[in-house]
Amino acid sequence: MTDPERAVELTFREEWGRVVGALARAFRDLDLAEDATQEAFAIAASTWPEAGVPDNPGGWIATTARNRALDRVRREAVRAEKHRLAAPGNPDAVDAWEPDDEVAAVDDDLLRLLLSCCHPALDQPSQVALTLRLVLGLSAAEIARAFLVPEPTLAQRLVRAKRKIRAAHLRLRLPSDHELPDRLAPVLAVVQQLYNEGYVATAGPDLDRPDLCDEAIHLARLLVRLLPDEPEVRGLLASLLLTTARRPARIGASGELVPLAEQDRTLWDRHLVEEGRALVHECARRGTPGVHQLRAAIDLVHCEAPSIQETDWPRVVALHDQLLAICPTPVVALNRAVAVAEVAGAAEALRLVDALPLERHHLWHATRAELLHRCGELTAARTALTTALGLTANQPEQRLLARRLAELSTEGEAATGDRGGAD
Question: Is residue 63 included in any domain, yes or no?
Answer: yes
- Tell me what pLDDT residue 138 has: 80
Give the torsion through C-alpha atoms of 117, 191, 363, 154, to 10 deg.
Answer: 40
In whole angstroms, what is the distance from residue 331 CA to residue 339 CA?
13
Report whether 300 contacts 238 (CB < 8 A): yes
- Whether 214 shows a pLDDT value over 80: the answer reads yes
- Whether 418 shows a pLDDT value over 80: the answer reads no
- Tell me what pLDDT residue 104 has: 41
Same domain, 183 and 129: yes
Backbone φ and ψ of 237, nearest 5°: -60, -40
Give the torsion through C-alpha atoms of 398, 207, 329, 286, to 10 deg.
Answer: 150
Same domain, 147 and 88: no
Domain end, chosen from 92, 111, 145, is at 92
Residue 361 contacts by C-beta under 8 Å, 6 or more apart in sequence? 331, 334, 391
Same domain, 109 and 88: no
Among the listed residues 92, 103, 99, the one whose alpha carbon sits nearest the alpha carbon of residue 63: 99
Domain count, the chain: 3
Same domain, 115 and 78: no
pLDDT tens across 144-168, in order? 876 667 889 888 989 888 888 777 6
Q: Are strands 203-204 and 393-394 parallel, antiparallel or unpaired?
A: parallel
Residue 223 contacts by C-beta under 8 Å, 6 or more apart in sequence? 114, 187, 188, 191, 230, 233, 236, 237
- Whether 305 shows a pLDDT value over 80: the answer reads yes
Sign, CA dihedral 42-46-47-49, equals positive
Among the listed residues 115, 143, 137, the one whose alpha carbon sits nearest the alpha carbon of residue 16: 137
Give the residue-averaged pLDDT of 25-36: 86
Secondary structure letter of residue 90 according to DSSP: -
Kind and range of the H or E run holding 162: helix 151-167
- Tell me what pLDDT residue 420 has: 45
- Whether 105 shows a pLDDT value over 60: the answer reads no
pLDDT tens across 54-81, in order? 989 999 999 999 999 998 888 776 445 5
Question: Is residue 309 included in any domain, yes or no?
Answer: no
Same domain, 31 and 122: no
Give the residue-averaged pLDDT of 42-57: 91
Question: Is residue 242 included in any domain, yes or no?
Answer: no
Same domain, 86 and 128: no
- Tell me what pLDDT residue 417 has: 56
Question: Is residue 351 included in any domain, yes or no?
Answer: no
Confidence at 170, pLDDT banded by 50, 70, 90: low
Give the residue-averaged pLDDT of 302-322: 97
Kind and range of the H or E run holding 394: strand 393-394
- Tell me what pLDDT residue 255 has: 83
CA separation (Å) from 152 to 92, 149, 172? 36, 8, 27
**Three-state SS annotation for 272-314:** HHHHHHHHHHHHHHHCCCCHHHHHHHHHHHHHHCCCCCCCCHH
Q: Which amino acid is at 260?
A: L
Instruction: Provide, rounded to the nearest whole percent, the portion of the chain with pLDDT above 70.
Output: 86
Same domain, 113 and 185: yes
Question: Is residue 50 included in any domain, yes or no?
Answer: yes
Which runs of consecutive H residues, i.e. helices, occur in 355-394? Answer: 362-374, 378-389
CATH code, domain carrying 79: 1.10.1740
Same domain, 137 and 189: yes
CA angle 65, 68, 72 (to 5 degrees): 140
Report whether 170 contacts 121 (CB < 8 A): yes
Q: Which residue has the higher pLDDT, 313 or 77?
A: 313
pLDDT tens across 242-288, in order? 999 999 999 988 888 999 999 999 999 999 999 999 999 999 999 99
Instruction: Provide, rounded to the nearest whole percent, the portion of the chain with pLDDT above 90.
Output: 50
- Tell me what pLDDT residue 422 has: 37
Q: Which amino acid is at 422?
A: A
- Tell me what pLDDT residue 299 has: 98
Same domain, 202 and 111: yes
- Tell me what pLDDT residue 201 has: 83
Among the listed residues 251, 241, 252, the one whose alpha carbon sits nearest the alpha carbon of residue 303: 241
- Tell me what pLDDT residue 92 has: 47
Beta strands in 210-254 (DSSP E): none
Confidence at 85, pLDDT banded by 50, 70, 90: low
Helices (H) and strands (E) in the chain, counts: 20, 2
Give the residue-averaged pLDDT of 122-147: 82
Question: Is residue 415 included in any domain, yes or no?
Answer: yes
Q: Which residue has the higher pLDDT, 420 or 58?
A: 58
pLDDT tens across 334-370, in order? 999 999 999 999 999 999 999 999 999 999 999 999 9
Mean pLDDT of the chain: 85
Question: Is residue 304 included in any domain, yes or no?
Answer: no
Question: Is residue 303 included in any domain, yes or no?
Answer: no
Q: Which residue has the higher pLDDT, 153 or 236?
A: 236
- Tell me what pLDDT residue 421 has: 41
DSSP string for 247-275: HHHHB-TTS-B--GGG--GGGS-HHHHHH
Give the residue-averaged pLDDT of 381-392: 96
Whole domain around residue 121: which residue ranges? 103-228
- Whole-model pTM: value is 0.77
Among the listed residues 171, 58, 40, 167, the one whose alpha carbon sits nearest the alpha carbon of residue 112: 171
Burial of 420 (C-beta count, 10 Å sphere; 0-12/13-18/19+)? exposed
Centroid of chain to Cα 68: 32
Same domain, 107 and 168: yes
Same domain, 16 and 76: yes
Domain end, chosen from 71, 92, 113, is at 92
Strand partners, 204: 394
Same domain, 126 and 223: yes
Domain end, chosen from 66, 92, 118, is at 92
Q: Which amino acid is at 405?
A: L
